[in-house]
A and B are shown apart, each in its own frame.
Chain A
Amino acid sequence: MIGCLAIARNGSDWLAVMDDLSAQELCESIKDGRITSVEATEAVFERTEKLDAVIGAYISTDRERALARAAEIDRRIAAGGQMGPLGGVPIAVKDNMCTAWGATTCASRMLENFHSPYNATVVEKLLAADAVIVGKTNMDEFAMGSSTENSGLKRTVNPWDTSRVPGGSSGGSAAAVAAGLCYAALGSDTGGSIRQPASFCGVVGLKPTYGRVSRYGLVAFGSSLDQIGPLTRTVGDAALMMNVIAGHDPADSTSVGEAMAPVRDYLANLDQPVEGLRIGIVPRLNAGADESVRKAVDAALEVYEGAGAELVEIEMPHSEYAIAAYYVIATAEASSNLARYDGVHYGYRSSKADDYIEVYTKSRAEAFGKEVKRRIMLGTYALSSGYYDAYYLKALKVRNLIRSDFTRAFQDCDCIMMPVAPTTAFKIGEKTDDPLKMYLSDVYTIAANLAGIPGISIPCGFDGNNLPIGLQILGPTFTEDKLLCIARMYEKETDWHTRRPRIVGGVD
């Protein structure tokens, strides 16, 4: 085990074994009575206490609450009761998903003390599946960013190199999974916010098809792009999480009904290799990535070829407009979604306001971070009369073209493979002065959100600095089951996913 993070307790070594377990394996062990949920949860908290001062993955944890729940699950198991699919497994949730306990901050000073009166649908589903929710993870403020450096509340570092970013915006979730501070986590992906941090932290990250997972209770950034998905240690764990969170929700009109796209059992045929797999590649796009990334992706493609897959070169003629279109649509929606944070009904209110207009202007000026303000202004501009057609409407047209690019491409292939990001994790502060450079790091992930298709990031190697590299696999809408099978084919042939970071400044 590389960079063993085991914490010896009472001289026993089962905890060291537990660290290496997947969520699936842990769940089985708890069910079988080999480990209790309380033991697993305690271990996670002990490790969090030791490491999170360095990693900074969590904005909040609730040890007492989690342990009480774990104990209740253990009692149920001991009594021979029924257990949900995540029975007793410690799970982390990104802090933009509402929980009816503790704060839901979106890593913003605006909501630092906001307590939601309700649970997000995904949170309800985790609880119904008997997960133990251990804490809420850090992120870029309102999920706006690619490095988690835009968090208004704290800093998260990459467990593989604490001088580097974990990626973003679900950087806290990715770092928590990579550092073993939970067994799986939920993130949200608006332009790559699950896949890119998963890639930077060497874990699996799945962005489902738009409409596959309920957004009810996910604090909105770009409503037509946002989608919740899992960050996990293995492909199997991602499938397990999908079994729990996928499905229609009457509270989310944009979630897709069973009639149109029935939910699958994502674990059922996971180990079945896809016969005659045709993989689409876009050489022109891949050329833009760093050499180490390119090499790792090429090597992964060879693994697939070795397993009988065929590579098909495809065209994505409108991909170069994706970033521009994305930053118009996402910011336009964000400018409207974030209008409600005005200091009137909840959240931060400036103490310096003299009238109600100042309640708005001062509260927002004082509580929002720079990037959030930048995007609100961009989006407000794009929607303003006289500019709407030139920006917003045009961006929607580009979006349609990108969607049809994918539709056309998927006639010739089952999936498309490419890097997740052009580089591995970059240094903290490296891109913070240049927002445009930061936006460009989303080049590979954004198109999937515009088209609404699913995408997964899986570990496919390391660069010269021992930083993880991710392989991105994109599929047609509602083919998460197949996507997971394809990912699993690779995972079985490699051991990247078993590697663990050695955390400097943490314990050994």
Chain B
Amino acid sequence: MIQHKVIVGLEIHVQLCTESKMFCGCAMEFGVQANSRVCPVCLGMPGVLPVMNKKAFEYSVLAGLVLNCEIPSFTKWDRKSYYYPDLPKNYQISQYDLPLAKNGFIEIPVAGGRGEAVGTKRIRIIRAHLEEDAGKNVHTAGNYSQVDLNRTGTPLLEIVTEPDMSSGAEARALAVELQRIVRYLGVSEGDMQKGHMRFEPNINLAITRDGREYRTPIVEVKNLNSFRALERSIDYEAGRQLDEFLETGRVMEMGSKTTRGWDDVREATVLQREKEEAHDYRYFPEPDLVPVELNEAWLDEIQGRLCELPLARQMRYVERFQLSEYDAGVLTGERATADFFEAAVVAGGDAKRVCNLLTQVGLKLANERNCDVRDLGFTPQMVAELANMIAAGTVSATAGNTILEEMVRRVHVSDMVLVGDSVKAEIIAKELNLIQKSDAGELEKIVEQVLAENAQAVADVVGGGKKSGKARGFLLGQVMQKTKGQANPKVVSEILDKKLC
């Protein structure tokens, strides 16, 4: 009898979105000409000295706080030595024994058992520290390599978790949640395409066979930069390690950790280094930088920038506004969207209708325009009014979506200047003839006409049985057709019920 459990811990590098680099004034711009965003400091020229980017430190403390970490009042910098052509000083300024944040945790959403609602799981965080990124070696030329140092000195927040995850899906959930958090805080753009988040999972298995437990050798998968690769590589490793154990019986021992890479095409991990080389980074305190002392006033100031985290916000939306988990998740994906949603609700908008307008139209338009919902030109007030028109049955939900799209179109045509009434939901609804007919007297006449013209369908409904529902739908459709879709289906339905019972 064999059982096994997957054990996963994560190291995550998050690139902070400061204006300048970690230890010099160079701008952080990528995709520009190689070695055009460099200066003597990030090039590691003789005689240069680093100066700490205060903002990067504050961003890191902020992230540490929301990851529920202890933030020590004293932290320092260390040099980590290794030789590589993309590392101009041949040491990296990092933090070794006194990281700026430690002993925290993050709650990640996890699916409950069959039929159970989504719950959360707590993943402990060992530490988070700040360091500078290296450059990039480019191997596109013939028999030589080139080095691009634009990325050199970019501030990176390295977060290390305990091995508290037990599947690729959980690791992915953590990664997604972390992305939401750092975006929420505004400390990172979290753009996966641009490599703003890189993952290195450590994976092994706890296998129980005949009442004895075995641990397979730990594998570290290097440099994953997509959620998909993260999840797949862990799941792949779990399978591979189980097979290997069954075949060889190899278990974890000192120095048995191996490093593997992820082959996106083959969807498999590939061995990189057989035995973890006894790396000696010769860490020692960076003498060119003074230790950072975080006094209470400074910490308070940073703490003042905290906001409600996405997961908590999502839960609140479900509870308070009775939104679905899914809708609440979409709304809280971006802080701007969630803020806008709440503003519209505060403006008196019906929460469910506002949610639908934003998730079905607002986000789609924002995505097309590569902006967020704030930039579409409508205000929370305008969306609230439209939502309430839908709730009151003045316009249909479908018409509501059309009106919102038209609103955005009009705003854009008028070059982002709100042109008075022409962008108002009510005006648009009238102009586009989208106001629903809810006058029972008027609709009753039309219903009677439809019933008179469709005797067979009426008979089917009244006769009950299989055909009844379909026939009723047909009659409703006929009424909608006659009113060019402007009849309020709710009112029509009531009249039909009355006439056919």
Chain A interface residues (CB < 8 Å from chain B): 96-98, 104, 106, 111, 114, 116-118, 120, 215-220, 222-224, 250-254, 332-333, 335-336, 339-342, 344-346, 356, 360, 380, 383-385, 388, 392
Q: Which residues of B contact A360 (CB under 8 A)?
A: 83
Can you show 25 pairs from A to B with CB atoms below 8 A apart? A96-B47, A116-B47, A217-B47, A217-B48, A218-B47, A219-B46, A219-B47, A222-B287, A223-B287, A251-B51, A253-B49, A253-B51, A253-B289, A254-B289, A333-B284, A340-B88, A340-B90, A342-B83, A342-B90, A344-B88, A344-B147, A345-B43, A346-B45, A384-B280, A388-B284
Q: Please give 13 more A-B residue pairs, beta carbons under 8 A apart, in addition to A254-B290, A333-B287.
A: A98-B47, A104-B46, A216-B48, A220-B46, A251-B49, A253-B50, A253-B52, A341-B46, A344-B147, A345-B43, A356-B85, A384-B282, A385-B280
User: Of the candidates B52, B145, B287, which one forms a contact with A224 in the assembled complex, judged by CB atoms under 8 Å apart?
Assistant: B287
B261 within 8 A of A: no
Q: How far is the CB of B160 from chain A (nearest CB, A)?
A: 20
Once bound together, how far apart are the Cα atoms of A224 and B289, in whole Å?
10
A339 touches B46 (CB 8 A): no
B19 within 8 A of A: no
Once bound together, how far apart are the Cα atoms of A345 and B40, in whole Å?
12
B13 within 8 A of A: no
B136 within 8 A of A: no
Q: Which residues of A contact B267 (CB under 8 A)?
A: none
Q: Which residues of A contact B448 (CB under 8 A)?
A: none
B75 within 8 A of A: no
User: Of the candidates B40, B83, B282, which one forms a contact with A118 in the assembled complex, judged by CB atoms under 8 Å apart?
Assistant: B40
Q: Which residues of B contact A344 (CB under 8 A)?
A: 85, 88, 147
Q: Which of B72-109 contact A (CB under 8 A)?
A: 79, 81, 83, 85, 88-91
Known: A117-B45, A340-B88, A342-B83. A223 touches B282 (CB 8 A): no
Q: How far is the CB of B475 from chain A (nearest CB, A)?
A: 80
Q: Which residues of B contact A116 (CB under 8 A)?
A: 40, 45-47
A339 touches B49 (CB 8 A): no
B42-71 to A contact mask, C-beta < 8 Å, 1/0: 011111111110000000000000000000
Q: Which residues of A contact B79 (CB under 8 A)?
A: 336
B49 touches A216 (CB 8 A): yes
B282 touches A340 (CB 8 A): no
User: Of the candidates A98, A339, A388, A392, which one forms a contact with B90 in the assembled complex, judged by CB atoms under 8 Å apart?
Assistant: A339
Q: Which residues of A contact B280 (CB under 8 A)?
A: 384-385
Q: Which residues of A contact B91 (CB under 8 A)?
A: 336, 339
B29 within 8 A of A: no
Give A98's nearest chain B residue, CB to CB. B47
Q: Which residues of B contact A341 (CB under 8 A)?
A: 46
Q: How far is the CB of B48 from chain A (nearest CB, A)?
A: 7
Among A120, A252, A335, A336, chain B packs the most CB atoms within 10 A around the CB of A336
User: Of the candidates A114, A222, A224, A333, which one forms a contact with B46 in the assembled complex, judged by CB atoms under 8 Å apart?
Assistant: A114
Give B82's nearest chain A residue, CB to CB. A339
Q: Which residues of B contact A216 (CB under 8 A)?
A: 47-49
Q: Which residues of B contact A106 (CB under 8 A)?
A: 46
Q: Which residues of A contact B289 (CB under 8 A)?
A: 253-254
Q: How far is the CB of B373 from chain A (nearest CB, A)?
A: 41
B166-183 to A contact mask, C-beta < 8 Å, 1/0: 000000000000000000
B88 touches A345 (CB 8 A): yes
B288 within 8 A of A: yes
Q: Which residues of A contact B47 (CB under 8 A)?
A: 96-98, 104, 116, 120, 216-220
B51 touches A340 (CB 8 A): no
Once bound together, how far apart are the Cα atoms of A220 and B40, in whole Å?
14
Q: How far is the CB of B321 from chain A (nearest CB, A)?
A: 50
Q: Which residues of A contact B51 (CB under 8 A)?
A: 250-251, 253
Which 10 A-B residue pairs are closest in the complex by CB-CB distance? Answer: A339-B90, A223-B287, A224-B287, A383-B282, A219-B46, A217-B47, A98-B47, A219-B47, A340-B89, A385-B280
Known: A117-B40, A356-B85, A360-B83. A332 touches B48 (CB 8 A): no
Once bound together, how far apart are the Cα atoms of A204 and B280, in whole Å?
44
B268-289 to A contact mask, C-beta < 8 Å, 1/0: 0000000000001011100111
Q: Which residues of B contact A120 (CB under 8 A)?
A: 47
Once bound together, how far apart are the Cα atoms of A207 and B43, in whole Å?
30
Give A97's nearest chain B residue, CB to CB. B47
User: Of the candidates A222, A339, A380, which one forms a contact with B89 in the assembled complex, judged by CB atoms under 8 Å apart?
Assistant: A339
Q: Which residues of B contact A335 (CB under 8 A)?
A: 282
Once bound together, how far apart are the Cα atoms of A254 and B287, in whole Å?
8
Q: How far is the CB of B139 from chain A (nearest CB, A)?
A: 11
Q: Which residues of B contact A218 (CB under 8 A)?
A: 47
B81 touches A340 (CB 8 A): no
Once bound together, how far apart are the Cα atoms of A106 and B45, in whole Å?
13
B46 touches A336 (CB 8 A): no
Once bound together, how far apart are the Cα atoms of A345 and B35, in whole Å?
12
Q: Which residues of B contact A356 (CB under 8 A)?
A: 85, 145
User: Of the candidates A118, A219, A345, A383, which one forms a contact with B284 in the assembled complex, judged by CB atoms under 8 Å apart?
Assistant: A383
Give B284's nearest chain A residue, CB to CB. A383
Q: How far is the CB of A452 from chain B (nearest CB, A)?
A: 12
Q: How far is the CB of A96 from chain B (nearest CB, A)?
A: 8
Q: Which of B2-58 contact A (CB under 8 A)?
A: 40, 43-52
Once bound together, how far apart are the Cα atoms of A1 and B483, in whole Å?
119
Once bound together, how far apart are the Cα atoms of A106 and B46, in whole Å?
10
B141-172 to A contact mask, C-beta < 8 Å, 1/0: 00001010000000000000000000000000
Q: Which residues of B contact A380 (CB under 8 A)?
A: 282
A98 touches B83 (CB 8 A): no
Give B90's nearest chain A residue, CB to CB. A339
A254 touches B147 (CB 8 A): no
Q: How far is the CB of A110 from chain B (nearest CB, A)?
A: 10
Known: A345-B44, A360-B83. A336 touches B284 (CB 8 A): yes
Give A342's nearest chain B residue, CB to CB. B90
A339 touches B81 (CB 8 A): yes
Q: Which residues of A contact B85 (CB under 8 A)?
A: 344, 356
B282 touches A336 (CB 8 A): yes
Q: Which residues of B contact A342 (CB under 8 A)?
A: 83, 90
Q: Which residues of A contact B83 (CB under 8 A)?
A: 339, 342, 360
Q: Which residues of A contact B44 (CB under 8 A)?
A: 340, 345
Q: How far is the CB of B34 from chain A (nearest CB, A)?
A: 13
Give B281's nearest chain A residue, CB to CB. A385
Q: Which residues of B contact A250 (CB under 8 A)?
A: 51
Give A392's nearest chain B residue, CB to CB. B284
Give B144's nearest chain A residue, CB to CB. A356
Q: How far is the CB of A169 from chain B (nearest CB, A)?
A: 16
Among A253, A346, A356, A388, chain B packs the most CB atoms within 10 A around the CB of A253
Q: How far is the CB of A379 from chain B (nearest CB, A)?
A: 9
Q: Which residues of B contact A385 (CB under 8 A)?
A: 280, 282
Q: How far is the CB of A101 from chain B (nearest CB, A)?
A: 15
Among B43, B48, B90, chain A packs the most CB atoms within 10 A around the CB of B48
